[in-house]
Chain A
Amino acid sequence: AQKITQTQPGMFVQEKEAVTLDCTYDTSDQSYGLFWYKQPSSGEMIFLIYQGSYDEQNATEGRYSLNFQKARKSANLVISASQLGDSAMYFCAMGSLGNQFYFGTGTSLTVIP
Chain B
Amino acid sequence: EAGVTQFPSHSVIEKGQTVTLRCDPISGHDNLYWYRRVMGKEIKFLLHFVKESKQDESGMPNNRFLAERTGGTYSTLKVQPAELEDSGVYFCASSDRLDEQFFGPGTRLTVL
A contacts with B, residue count (CB < 8 A): 25
Range for the number of chain B residues in contact with chain A = 20 to 34
Contacts of A4 in B (CB 8 A): 42
Q: Which B residues between 8 and 25 are near A, CB-CB below 8 angstroms?
A: 9
Interface residue B1 (Cβ < 8 Å from any Cβ of A): no
Cβ–Cβ contact B33 & A105, under 8 A:
no
Cβ–Cβ contact A47 & B105, under 8 A:
no
In the docked arrangement, what's the CA distance between A100 and B55, Å? 10
Interface residue A36 (Cβ < 8 Å from any Cβ of B): no
In the docked arrangement, what's the CA distance between A47 and B41, Å? 19
Instruction: Given A4-B42, A45-B91, verify A101-B101 contact (CB < 8 Å).
Output: yes
Cβ–Cβ contact B45 & A102, under 8 A:
yes
Q: Closest residue of chain A to B45, judged by CB?
A: A100
Cβ–Cβ contact A98 & B31, under 8 A:
yes
Contacts of B42 in A (CB 8 A): 4, 103-106
Q: Which A residues between 84 and 113 are near B, CB-CB below 8 angstroms?
A: 91, 93, 95-106
